[in-house]
Amino acid sequence: MIILYDYELSGNCYKVRLLLSMLNVSYEKKAIEFYPAAEHKTDAFLSINALGQLPVIQTGDLTINDSHAILVYLARQYDKSDTWFPISDPVRLAQVTQWMCFADSLTSSASSARLVNGFFYDLDGEACRQEAHRLFRIFDEHLWFNEREDHLWVVPGKTPTIADLACFAYVVLSEEGGISRMDYPAIRRWTDRVKRLAGFVVMPGVFPAGPGPVHVLPANDTFPSAGTAEA
Amino acid sequence: MIDLEAARYRWHPVASSTDLVPRHVFQAQLLGREMALWRADDGNVNAWENRCLHRGVRLSIGINDGRELVCQYHGWRYANRTAGCTYIPAHPADAPARTICNNTYPAVEKHGLIWSGEKPDGQIPSLDVLDTTSITPLRGVTINVPLENIALPLIDYYSSGQRGASGDSVVHYGADTPDPFLLILHAHGHLHTSANAQAVDTPTPDIAFFFQPLDAARTAVRGVLCGVDEHNIGSAALIALLKQHSFMLCRARDIIESGHRDKPVPTPWTPYIPKVSDRHASMPPLTSAGQQAKLRVRLSAIENLSPSVKTFRFQALNTQIESAAPSVLPVAQPGAHIDIHLPNGLVRQYSLINGPGQTDHYAIAVKRLDDSTGGSHALHDSLKVGDVLATSVPRNNFTLRRDAEHTHLIAGGIGLTPLLSMARALDHSNLPFTLHHFIATETDAINRAELENMSAAVHWHVGQDVQQTQDTLSALLDAPTEHHHVYICGPGAMLGFTRETAATRGWADESIHFEYFKNPDVVDDSSEFNVELARSGLSLQVPAGKSLLSVLREHNVGVQSSCEQGACGTCRVEVLEGEPDHQDVYLSDTEKAQGNCLMSCVSRARSKRLVLDL
Ligand SMILES: N[C@@H](CCC(=O)N[C@@H](CS)C(=O)NCC(=O)O)C(=O)O
Ligand code: FES
Residue B195 clears pLDDT 60, i.e. is over it: no
CATH 3.10.20.30 is the classification of domain B529-612: yes
d(C-alpha B318, C-alpha B332), whole Å: 17
From the list B61, B65, B250, which residue is nearest A207 (CB)?
Answer: B61
Lowest mean pLDDT among B29-43, B109-123, B352-366, B533-547: B352-366
Considering only the C-alpha atoms of chain A, give the largest distance between any 2 of them, rounded to a whole number of Å: 69
Task: Tell me which of B42, B127, B139 to substitute to probe the interface with A (most A C-beta atoms closer than 10 Å).
Answer: B139
The edge-to-edge listing of strands for the beta sheet with B163-164 is: B163-164, B167-169, B191-193, B201-202
- By mean pLDDT, which of A172-181, B104-113, B314-323 is the weakest? B314-323
Task: Write down the domain spans for chain A.
Answer: 2-78, 90-195
Residues 78-137 of A with CB under 8 A from B: 137
pTM (2 d.p.): 0.63
**Strongest mean pLDDT among B180-194, B340-354, B525-539:** B525-539
Task: Determine the Cα–Cα distance for residues B84 and A168; give it in Å rounded to an integer.
Answer: 34
Over residues B379-388, mean pLDDT: 85
Pairwise pLDDT comparison (B360 vs B270), residue with the higher score: B270
Ligand 2 atom index nearest CA of B57? 1
CATH of domain B406-486+493-498: 3.40.50.80
The CATH number that domain A2-78 falls under is 3.40.30.10
Sign for the pseudo-dihedral over CA of A215, A220, A224, A225: positive
Identify the pLDDT of residue B536: 79
Give the number of the ligand closest to the Cα of residue A13: 1
| pLDDT band at residue B79 using 50, 70 and 90 as cut-offs | confident
At B95, the pLDDT band (50, 70, 90 cuts) reads: very low
Are the beta carbons of B229 and A212 separated by less than 8 Å?
A: no
Instruction: Let me know: does B571 contact B559? Beta carbons within 8 Å.
Output: yes
Residues of B whose CB is below 8 A from A221: 18, 112, 136-137, 230, 238, 242
Model confidence at B78, pLDDT cuts 50, 70, 90, reads confident
* Mean pLDDT (whole number) for B87-112: 70
Å between B423 CA and nearest CA of chain A: 39
CA–CA dist A231, B111 (Å, integer): 15
Domain ranges of chain B: 1-124, 125-270, 295-391, 406-486+493-498, 529-612
| Tens digits of residue pLDDT in B326-351 | 456 776 778 888 988 887 777 888 99
Above 60 in pLDDT, residue A196?
A: yes
Note the pLDDT of residue B348. Answer: 84
- CB B292, CB B392: distance < 8 Å: yes
Which one has a higher pLDDT value, B92 or A18? A18
pLDDT(B598) > 90: yes
Q: Name the CA radius of gyration of chain B, rounded.
A: 34
pLDDT tens, position by position, B123-167: 999 998 898 899 999 999 999 999 999 999 999 998 886 554 445
B239 vs B390, higher pLDDT: B239
| Residue to mutate (ligand 1; options A54, A66, A101, A162; most atoms within 8 A of CB) | A54
Q: Does the A90-195 domain belong in CATH 1.20.1250.20?
A: no
- CA–CA dist B286, B73 (Å, integer): 16
The pLDDT of residue B322 is above 80:
no
Q: Please answer yes or no on whether A221 and B18 come within 8 Å at the CB atom.
A: yes
Higher pLDDT, B86 or B583: B583
Q: What integer pLDDT is reported at residue A13 of this predicted model?
A: 98
- pLDDT per residue over A126-146, tens digit each? 999 999 999 999 999 999 999
Question: Which of B63, B214, B238 to probe by mutation at the A interface, max A CB count within 10 Å?
Answer: B63
| More confident position, B214 or B176 | B214
ipTM of the complex, rounded to two decimals: 0.92
pLDDT confidence tier of residue B187, bands split at 50, 70 and 90: confident
Task: Answer whether B207's CB lies under 8 Å from B185's CB.
Answer: yes
Q: What is the pLDDT of residues B24-67, one digit of tens each?
A: 999 999 999 999 999 998 899 999 999 998 888 999 999 998 88
The residue type found at A98 is Q
Confirm or reject contact between B120 and chain A (CB < 8 A). yes
Using the beta-carbon criterion (under 8 Å), do B124 and A227 form an inter-chain contact? Answer: yes
DSSP B2-22: --HHHHHTS-EEEEEGGG--T
Closest ligand to A121 CA?
Answer: 1
Residues in chain A: 231
pLDDT at B557: 85
**Mean pLDDT lowest for which of B194-198, B266-270, B597-601?**
B194-198
pLDDT of residue B479: 86
Highest mean pLDDT among A21-30, B78-87, B361-370: A21-30
So what's the pLDDT on residue B372? 62
Is ligand 1 within 6 A of the CB of residue A118?
A: no
- pLDDT of A225 reads 34
Calculate mean pLDDT across residues B538-562: 89
* pLDDT tens digits for range A63-88: 999 999 999 999 999 999 999 999 99
Ligand 1 neighbourhood includes A53 CB (under 6 angstroms): yes
B443-B447-B449-B453 Cα dihedral, nearest 10 degrees: -140
Write down the pLDDT at residue A60: 95
Please name the residues between 134 and 193 in chain A that touch chain B, using a CB distance below 8 Å.
Answer: 137, 141, 144-145, 148-149, 181-183, 185, 188-189, 192
Amino acid (1-letter code) at residue B146 = P
> In which band, very low, low, confident or very high, does the pLDDT at A148 lie, cut at 50, 70 and 90?
very high
Q: What are the CB-based long-range contacts (under 8 Å, 24+) for B311-315?
A: B311/B353, B311/B363, B311/B364, B311/B365, B311/B366, B312/B363, B312/B364, B312/B365, B312/B366, B312/B379, B312/B383, B313/B361, B313/B362, B313/B363, B314/B361, B314/B362, B314/B363, B314/B364, B314/B389, B314/B391, B315/B360, B315/B361
Mean pLDDT over each residue of chain A, to the nearest integer: 91
Are the C-beta atoms of B610 and B529 separated by less than 8 Å? Answer: yes
CATH no. for B295-391: 2.40.30.10
- Which neighbouring-strand residues pair with B560? B290
The interface residues of chain B toward chain A in range 336-365, judged by CB-CB distance below 8 A, are none
Is the pLDDT reported for residue B519 higher than 60? yes
- Please name the residue ranges forming H helices in B119-162: 151-159
Q: Is B108 in the pocket of ligand 2 (CB under 6 A)?
A: no
CATH superfamily for domain B1-124 = Rieske [2Fe-2S] iron-sulphur domain (2.102.10.10)
Q: In the predicted model, what is the mean pLDDT of residues B445-466?
A: 94
pLDDT at B11: 98
Q: Which of A14-18, A77-81, B112-116, B230-234 has the lowest mean pLDDT?
A: B230-234
Residue B94 pLDDT exceeds 70: no
Q: What is the DSSP letter of B171?
A: -
Q: What is the pLDDT of residue B327?
A: 58
Collapsing DSSP states into helix, strand and coil, what is residue B211?
Answer: strand
What ligand has the least distance to the C-alpha of B100? Answer: 2
Residues of B in contact with A185 (CB under 8 A): 15, 19, 26-27, 140
Classify domain B125-270 by CATH number. Answer: 3.30.530.20
Contact A40, A55 (CB under 8 A): no
pLDDT band at A231 (very low <50, low <70, confident <90, very high): very low
pLDDT, tens digit, for every residue of B257-311?
Answer: 999 999 999 999 999 887 765 555 444 443 345 566 667 788 999 999 999 999 9
| In chain B, residues 209-238 whose CB comes closer than 8 Å to chain A | 218, 220, 228-230, 235, 238
Give yes or no for residue B591 having a pLDDT over 50: yes
Shortest distance, CA A100 to any CA of chain B (angstroms) = 24
Q: Touching check for B106 and chain A: CB below 8 Å? A: yes
Arithmetic mean of pLDDT over chain B: 86
Q: What is the pLDDT of residues B229-256, one digit of tens each?
A: 888 889 999 999 999 999 999 999 999 9
